[in-house]
Amino acid sequence: LNTINFTPGPSQLYPTVPGHITTALELGVPSISHRSADFAELYASTGAALRDLLTIPPDYHIWFVGSATEAMERIIQNNVRNHSHHLVTGAFGHKFADQALGFGRLVSITEAPWGDGLDLDVLDIPSSAELIAITQNDTSSGTSIDPAAIRRLHQRYPDKLIAVDIVSSTPYADLDIASTDCAFFSVQKGFGMPAGLGVIIASPRALQRAEVLKAEGIPIGAFHSFPELAQSEAKGQTPETPNVLAIYVLGAVARDLAAYGLTRLRTELASQAQAIHAYFDQHSNGSILATNPDHRSHTVIVGQLGASSAPVIDALSARGIKLGKGYGKHKDTHIRIANFPAHLGHTDQLLSMLEEHFPQNA
Amino acid sequence: LNTINFTPGPSQLYPTVPGHITTALELGVPSISHRSADFAELYASTGAALRDLLTIPPDYHIWFVGSATEAMERIIQNNVRNHSHHLVTGAFGHKFADQALGFGRLVSITEAPWGDGLDLDVLDIPSSAELIAITQNDTSSGTSIDPAAIRRLHQRYPDKLIAVDIVSSTPYADLDIASTDCAFFSVQKGFGMPAGLGVIIASPRALQRAEVLKAEGIPIGAFHSFPELAQSEAKGQTPETPNVLAIYVLGAVARDLAAYGLTRLRTELASQAQAIHAYFDQHSNGSILATNPDHRSHTVIVGQLGASSAPVIDALSARGIKLGKGYGKHKDTHIRIANFPAHLGHTDQLLSMLEEHFPQNA
Q: Note the ipTM here.
A: 0.95
**Whole-angstrom distance, CA of residue B285 vs CA of residue A183:** 54
pLDDT digits (tens, 9 = 90+) for B3-40: 999 999 899 999 999 999 999 999 999 999 999 999 99
The whole-number pLDDT of residue B58 equals 98
User: What are the chain A neighbours of B195 within 8 Å (beta carbons)?
Assistant: 30, 34, 241-245
Instruction: Read off the pLDDT of each residue in B146-170 and give the average, rounded to a whole number.
Output: 98
CA dihedral B292, B298, B299, B304 (to 10 degrees): 40
User: What are the chain A neighbours of B191 within 8 Å (beta carbons)?
Assistant: none
List the Cα angle B157/B158/B159 in 5-degree steps. Answer: 95
The whole-number pLDDT of residue B2 equals 78
Nearest residue on chain A to B192, judged by CA atoms?
A: A31
**Whole-angstrom distance, CA of residue B231 vs CA of residue B63:** 11
> How distant is the Cα of A154 from the closest Cα of chain B, in angstroms?
28
The whole-number pLDDT of residue A342 equals 98
Count the neighbouring beta carbons within 10 Å of the beta carbon of residue A156.
13
Nearest residue on chain A to B242, judged by CA atoms?
A: A196
Given a cut of 80, is residue B362 above it in pLDDT?
no
Identify which of A138, A102, A219, A92 has the alpha carbon closest to the alpha carbon of residue B228: A102
The whole-number pLDDT of residue B235 equals 98
Among residues of chain A, what percentage have pLDDT more than 90?
A: 97
Task: Verify whether the Cβ–Cβ distance B66 to A68 is below 8 Å.
Answer: no
For residues A77 and A225, the answer to whether their CB atoms sit within 8 Å is yes
pLDDT digits (tens, 9 = 90+) for B166-217: 999 999 999 999 999 999 999 999 999 999 999 999 999 999 999 999 999 9
Task: Verify whether the Cβ–Cβ distance B222 to A13 is below 8 Å.
Answer: no
Nearest residue on chain B to A9, judged by CA atoms?
A: B33
pLDDT digits (tens, 9 = 90+) for A90-149: 999 999 999 999 999 999 999 999 999 999 999 999 999 999 999 999 999 999 999 999
Spell out the long-range contacts of A145-151 with Cβ–Cβ below 8 A and sequence spacing 24 or more. A145/A87, A145/A89, A145/A117, A145/A118, A145/A120, A145/A295, A146/A120, A146/A294, A147/A173, A147/A174, A147/A175, A147/A176, A149/A119, A149/A120, A149/A121, A150/A120, A150/A175, A150/A176, A150/A179, A150/A180, A151/A176, A151/A179
Of B31, B219, B245, the CB nearest to A11: B31
Of B7, B196, B225, the CB nearest to A245: B196
The whole-number pLDDT of residue A9 equals 86
What's the pTM value of the predicted model, to 2 decimals?
Answer: 0.97
Given a cut of 70, is residue A299 above it in pLDDT?
yes
Instruction: Read off the pLDDT of each residue in A229-246 and give the average, rounded to a whole number.
Output: 98
User: What are the chain A neighbours of B29 within 8 Å (beta carbons)?
Assistant: 194
Cβ neighbours for A89, distance < 8 A, ≥ 6 positions apart: A111, A112, A116, A117, A118, A135, A138, A141, A143, A145, A295
Q: Across chain B, what does the average pLDDT equal?
A: 97
**Whole-angstrom distance, CA of residue B211 vs CA of residue B181:** 15
CA dihedral B237, B238, B243, B248 (to 10 degrees): -30
pLDDT digits (tens, 9 = 90+) for B261-314: 999 999 999 999 999 999 999 999 999 999 999 999 999 999 999 899 999 999
Task: Verify whether the Cβ–Cβ distance B223 to A102 is below 8 Å.
Answer: yes
pLDDT digits (tens, 9 = 90+) for A5-54: 999 989 999 999 999 999 999 999 999 999 999 999 999 999 999 999 99
pLDDT digits (tens, 9 = 90+) for B233-242: 999 999 999 9
pLDDT digits (tens, 9 = 90+) for A174-190: 999 999 999 999 999 99
**Whole-angstrom distance, CA of residue B286 vs CA of residue B354:** 11
pLDDT digits (tens, 9 = 90+) for A239-293: 999 999 999 999 999 999 999 999 999 999 999 999 999 999 999 999 999 999 9
Given a cut of 90, is residue A1 above it in pLDDT?
no
pLDDT digits (tens, 9 = 90+) for B65-102: 999 999 999 999 999 999 999 999 999 999 999 999 99
Of A28, A69, A239, the CB nearest to B239: A69
Q: What's the per-residue H, E or C state across chain A?
A: CCCEECCCCCCCCCCCHHHHHHHHHHHCHHHCCCCCHHHHHHHHHHHHHHHHHHCCCCCCEEEEECCHHHHHHHHHHHHCCCEEEEEECCHHHHHHHHHHHHCCCEEEEEECCCCCCCCHHHCCCCCCCCEEEEECEECCCCEECCHHHHHHHHHHCCCCEEEEECCCCCCCCCCCHHHCCEEEEECCCCCCCCCCCEEEEECHHHHHHHHHHHHCCCCCCCCCCHHHHHHHHHCCCCCCCCCHHHHHHHHHHHHHHHHHCHHHHHHHHHHHHHHHHHHHHCCCCCEECCCCHHHECCCEEEEECCCCCHHHHHHHHHCCEECEECCHHHCCCEEEEECCHHHCCCHHHHHHHHHHHCCCCC
Identify which of A149, A85, A152, A83 has the alpha carbon closest to the alpha carbon of residue A118: A149
User: What are the chain A neighbours of B5 within 8 Å (beta carbons)?
Assistant: 28, 31
**Whole-angstrom distance, CA of residue B5 vs CA of residue A152:** 52
